[in-house]
Amino acid sequence: MLLTGAEILLECLIKEGVEVVFGYPGGAILPTYDSMTKYPQIRHVLVRHEQGASHMADGYARASGKVGVCIATSGPGATNLVTGLATALMDSVGIVAITGQVARGSIGTDAFQETDVTGVTLPVTKHNYLVMSAAEIPLVVEEAFHIARSGRPGPVLIDIPKDVQTEKAEFGSYPTGKLRLPGYKVASSADENDLAEAIRLIQEAERPLILAGHGLIMGNATQQLQELAEIAGIPVTLTLLGKGALPEQHPLCIGMMGMHGHAASNHAIQEADLLIALGMRFDDRVTGNLKTYSPLSRKIHVDIDPSEINKNVKVDVGIVGDLRTVLTQMLPHVPRKQHPEWVRRIRDWQEDGSERDIVTHYTGSTLLGAQVINDLWKFTDGNAVTVTDVGQHQMLEAQYYPHQRPSTLLTSGGLGTMGFGFPAAIGAKFAKPDEEVWAIVGDGGFQMTLAELATARQENVDVNIAILNNGFLGMVRQWQEIFYEQRYHATPMVNPDFCKLAEAYGIPSMRVTSRDQIKESVDFARSIKGPVLIEYVILKEEMVYPMVPSGADLDKMIRRPKWGETQP
């Protein structure tokens, strides 16, 4: 078939199984948009800002396990994708971004809306392409999707000049059968000697602990994780992005670790004699002070990315490979054990944490963000897909919404991107149309991408938006209270009336100011097919505890006093 470059691109996307793309048109990408009229199989979602497109593609990818696709024009359209690409790269999410470029003869002339997009995005993509002929498109698309989804996933960008989109070329079979990527090798199985050494360390350990990360979810290895934990009797602690890798109500799960993780998890890490790190990268928010991190333990680290082994934390056994494959190799040889004394010690730490829990003991009249999250969990039966923004509400979600399934908490971990939550929730709903999806956002982050209310309305996306409104940039205010003598500079916010704002977009809304209204708000949101906005007006000075100060030892947490000792 003799097709234009734009038509070839769309044919290739269909062959890759793409059903929806999130984008915004412009001159340099217009030939592709015009060709979309011939391909109704691909649903196009018109965003209101290209950053929203990249976050929607990201949310779609995290929720579905497929590659998400976003599209933008040249110049400012393409550069507006950068934050979303960086977010996806930091969290290892497979998306493909397609951008228009000025015509080939104008490249390098500072033409209207020209930007060196491959140069700009080189640090925030796994790979990128500038396509210089229509005939190249099938191989480029095949490579891009393979790179985006394989190994450690990540974003890939394809930049296509306008005249390449209109140029005609022969389109044959797809896949091309020409996929050759010299230097790109994805590990699979573990080295037998490394595996034997890991088994020996597990056999000898008396206080072992599994650190479960995002890689377990992306690698579809959650069942193998549960088998490992149960056979060897090993407690499991989760990274933020690893929540749901093991059901959080499983008796061996002790919750999230790190800066705002559960105290029991942090104490267990510091006192363990063996850490088994699976699909996680020892981020600084997880480790605290590296010099004092888990000083009593030997360490096993399994990851598909060889660059992560010994990067931040030196380990005794480093295994590079696909987690599902490696754990499947390991399981027949894992010793069947129990560690009752170790588990009892962890239970003591958990009991101590319960005595400090604000939701259990708080008797004030002002609504707390922790109460909102805990009640959302209760009234959704813990089954919703929650997509958060970044800040106090994000950490409260991690603490008070236990997840029983993988890929049901979607959040920006590595980059910490404010504005991520709402558009990513729209993407997640397209990926999981039959799931209940809640965007849990703060008043600050929501205002960064609230223009996507128009997208949600136009597409009638059934997403429930929960805004936790405390009139502050809450996490920054918390740092100012603790470390900057309560100098609240540039953190108090004058916000719009969020319910009237929703009304302006034709979106039903409700304002909640007391805890006894929360169930009513959930019922209200569930009664409407389409976007709904709920504003929860919460305590301005609410704090998120525990908190490990930046660079401090992991077990040197700032904690809420036990209730009754000194009232906060």
pLDDT per residue as tens digits for the range 311-338: 999 999 999 999 999 999 999 999 999 9
Residue 39 structure tokens: 């391909």
pLDDT of residue 466: 98
How many CB atoms are closer than 10 A to CB 448? 21
- Is the peptide bond between 406 and the residue preceding it cis, with omega within 30 degrees of 0? no
- Is the peptide bond between 175 and the residue preceding it cis, with omega within 30 degrees of 0? yes
Fold entry, domain 192-349:
Rossmann fold (3.40.50)
Do the domains spanning 2-170 and 358-537 agree at the CATH topology level? yes
Distance between CA 20 and CA 14 in Å, rounded?
Answer: 10
Distance between CA 515 and CA 374 in Å, rounded?
Answer: 11
Q: Which residues pair with 211 in a beta bridge?
A: 237, 277
Query: Smallest Cα–Cα separation from 377: which of 487, 517, 267, 522?
Result: 522
Cα distances (Å, whole numbers) of residue 206 to 172, 233, 296, 350: 60, 10, 12, 19
pTM of the model: 0.97
Active site residues: 50, 112-113, 162, 475
Q: Are strands 168-170 and 2-4 parallel, antiparallel or unpaired?
A: antiparallel
| DSSP track, 342-353 | HHHHHHHHHHHH
Residue 150 has phi, psi (to 5 degrees) of -95, 160
pLDDT of residue 127: 98
Q: For 2-170, CATH number?
A: 3.40.50.970
Q: Which residues of 318-329 are buried (b: 16+ CB within 10 A; e: fewer)?
A: bbbbbbbbbbbb
- Is the peptide bond between 546 and the residue preceding it cis, with omega within 30 degrees of 0? yes
Superfamily, domain 358-537: Thiamin diphosphate (ThDP)-binding fold, Pyr/PP domains (3.40.50.970)
pLDDT per residue as tens digits for the range 202-251: 999 999 999 999 999 999 999 999 999 999 999 999 999 999 999 999 99
Residues counted in the chain: 568
Residue 20's SS3 state is: strand
Distance between CA 142 and CA 98 in Å, rounded?
Answer: 13
Phi-psi region of 378 (alpha: psi -120 to 50; beta: other; left: phi over 0): alpha
Element (H, E) at 472: none
pLDDT of residue 566: 59
CA atoms within 13 A on the CB side of 529: 2
Cα distances (Å, whole numbers) of residue 548 to 102, 134, 288, 323, 554: 49, 53, 7, 30, 6
Q: Which residue ranges of the chain lie beneath pLDDT 50?
A: 567-568
Question: Cα 303 to chain center, whole Å?
Answer: 18
If you ran DSSP here, which 8-state letter would residue 259 be given?
T
Cα distances (Å, whole numbers) of residue 326 to 176, 189, 224, 432: 31, 6, 9, 29
Distance between CA 101 and CA 416 in Å, rounded?
Answer: 29
Distance between CA 96 and CA 158 in Å, rounded?
Answer: 7
The residues near 504 (Cβ < 8 Å, ≥ 6 apart) are: none
Query: Smallest Cα–Cα separation from 242: which of 283, 206, 293?
Result: 283
The residues near 366 (Cβ < 8 Å, ≥ 6 apart) are: 538, 539
Residue 158's SS3 state is: strand
Distance between CA 323 and CA 216 in Å, rounded?
Answer: 7
Distance between CA 386 and CA 407 in Å, rounded?
Answer: 9
Residue 248's SS3 state is: coil
**Residue 554 contacts residue 548 (beta carbons within 8 Å):** yes
Q: Where are the domains of the chain?
A: 2-170, 192-349, 358-537
Cα distances (Å, whole numbers) of residue 327 to 6, 218, 228, 313, 317: 43, 14, 8, 21, 14
pLDDT of residue 187: 86
